[in-house]
Structure 1
Amino acid sequence: MQLQTLPGLFISHGSPLLALDPEQVGPALHRLSINLPKPKAIIVMSAHWESTTLEVSTCIRPETWHDFRGFPDELYRIRYPAPGDPELAERVLKCLAQADIQANANSSRPRDHGVWMPLLHMYPDANIPVIEISLPMACTAEQIYQIGQTLSVFRKEQILLCGSGSITHNLSELSWHDAPVETPIWAKEFKNYVVQKLTQYDYSAVLNVQKLPFLEKNHPTLEHLAPLFFAMGMGHLFSIVHSSFSMGTLGMDIYRFD
């Protein structure tokens, strides 16, 4: 069977409660998965694995890590037992080395919720090998973009590559009440600016992080935005899979790059 080229994705994974209450984004992730050829493997850069230099998980069967506190007990009982793929991980490391990108193997890292939570809605059977790669916070936006470009070759092998973060992410501004909350202008304008530039393929404007409107209001720290740069490296054709806000200011967008 001929292998098909899969897109690169940016997934806003939201609150851990998404695992229990999928809101709008859970069904959107499910629809996306059934409209794609089944991946041979999945590679995810998560906002929740920050590192100094790039690391690649070579673990055979990573544990499901509930890397959060104060949520319902039911959430901590969830497991996502998808296997790792050490052989593919070694190929990823070799690919990065050939591009002069420093990366190290990590055989003990558990799988954080930035990985297993969206995949729970996309591939609930957990029967596709998953490799997690870290977010090297010492890298610039351009360098993270180049990591995405380098690894985009794996798309041709029917391997799905994802950056998992959030298009807006300021926890101090979230509304934890059940009543609907109006999304503030600063969140809308930030998201709309990014989408406009991506639609125009003006990637340099998005990578020029400090010039993004209301940056600090939307991202007091950059770890949830940076996986977008990784996904941008996957292709030149941008499209929106899903767009919504949760808890007032938490952007839940899903973007596709072909």
Structure 2
Amino acid sequence: MTDRLPALFISHGAPSLPLEDCPARDFLSTLAGRLPRPRAIVVMSAHYEAASVHVGASARPETVHDFRGFPAQLYEMTYPAPGDPALATRIAALLRDAGIKASEEPGRGLDHGIWNPLTLIYPQADIPVVPLSILPQEDGRTHYRIGAALAPLRDEGVLLIGSGSMTHNLRRFFGGSYGLTSPEEPFARQFADWVAERVAAGDLETLLTPPEDWPLGRENHPTDDHILPLPFALGAAGTPLTGTRWHASTNYGILAMDVLALGL
């Protein structure tokens, strides 16, 4: 029998994360050692937006360099993991069975919210990867339902990951003078610690309220896109909510790079 995998929330950081000398990169490089080897990986990425749930169904998903202004070396990087069209079809069916509109997207590649962390976690790129979209017009409870519908896959050797950012105020970033090792802003760490505390307490109901109701919520997430993968991971974890923070650090002063392991 396959060991049951946790659901993960991973802060994927800037596109340049694989090139950066920082604690988050070091941690992600060791993460695979904490997990049973999955037979496939499903990633809900903050950078894959759709009006209804789209499931990447390419047999050979391309590496998408969905960013500008970064070092040339980054644009030469590829993550040639195979896809899993059969798993994509199953995911879409599980979602439709749960009353959630879903469709397969055969041409979808792997954006940096997916290949950035996976390059560090599974550098061999030999595990099939299936991308999953967020619904930016929907709330956390909807994303929780998506995760809950896919939770049975964890018993089948499938690793479910929500890839976003624990904090993501890029307006503040571009308005300041932050470097990779800038001192962390208290508003970012306080928010990240609050989320970790709610997870440790099993306080699912609070975590499913809108981010504007969270302490420092809008200071850290002016938009919801990078926090929506969190309720997906919470749904994939099952009930009652259990989980812990496996990593906490901050890049560029305001990007909390926390990683949560859920459903342990």
- Alpha-carbon contact 2:196-2:244 (below 8 Å) kept: no
Deviation at 1:179, TM superposition (A): 7.5
The one-letter code sitting in structure 2 at the alignment partner of 1:245 is T
- Alpha-carbon contact 1:53-1:137 (below 8 Å) kept: no
- Match of 2:151? 152
1:218 aligns with 2:220: yes
- Match of 1:185? 186
Residues 190-242 of structure 1 show CA distances to partners (whole Å, capped at 9, x for unaligned) of 11221111111111111112211122211111100110110111222211110
- Alpha-carbon contact 1:141-1:226 (below 8 Å) kept: yes
1:128-207 matched pairs, under 5 angstroms: 128-174=127-173, 177-178=178-179, 180-207=181-208
- Alpha-carbon contact 1:12-1:251 (below 8 Å) kept: yes
Paired with 1:179 and 1:166, the residues of 2 have a C-alpha distance of: 16
Deviation at 1:178, TM superposition (A): 4.5
Deviation at 1:4, TM superposition (A): 1.4
Residue segments in structure 1 that go unaligned for 5+ positions in a row: none
The one-letter code sitting in structure 2 at the alignment partner of 1:149 is A
- Match of 1:103? 102
> Cα gap change, 1:78/1:188 in structure 2, threshold over 3 Å: closer, same or farther?
same
- Match of 2:235? 233
Paired with 2:236 and 2:156, the residues of 1 have a C-alpha distance of: 13
> Cα gap change, 1:176/1:73 in structure 2, threshold over 3 Å: closer, same or farther?
farther
- Alpha-carbon contact 1:176-1:247 (below 8 Å) kept: no
> Cα gap change, 1:123/1:190 in structure 2, threshold over 3 Å: closer, same or farther?
same
- Alpha-carbon contact 1:58-1:86 (below 8 Å) kept: yes
Identical-pair percentage:
40
TM-score after normalising by structure 1: 0.96
Residues 104-160 of structure 1 show CA distances to partners (whole Å, capped at 9, x for unaligned) of 111111210000010000000000000001001232211101111110100001110
1:18-33 matched pairs, under 5 angstroms: 18-33=17-32
> Cα gap change, 1:179/1:171 in structure 2, threshold over 3 Å: closer, same or farther?
closer
Paired with 2:118 and 2:134, the residues of 1 have a C-alpha distance of: 18
> Cα gap change, 1:26/1:182 in structure 2, threshold over 3 Å: closer, same or farther?
closer
> Cα gap change, 1:61/1:180 in structure 2, threshold over 3 Å: closer, same or farther?
closer
The one-letter code sitting in structure 2 at the alignment partner of 1:15 is A
Number of residue equivalences: 257
RMSD (Å) for aligned C-alpha atoms: 1.4
> Cα gap change, 1:63/1:179 in structure 2, threshold over 3 Å: closer, same or farther?
closer
TM-score after normalising by structure 2: 0.94
Paired with 1:22 and 1:145, the residues of 2 have a C-alpha distance of: 33
Residue segments in structure 2 that go unaligned for 5+ positions in a row: none
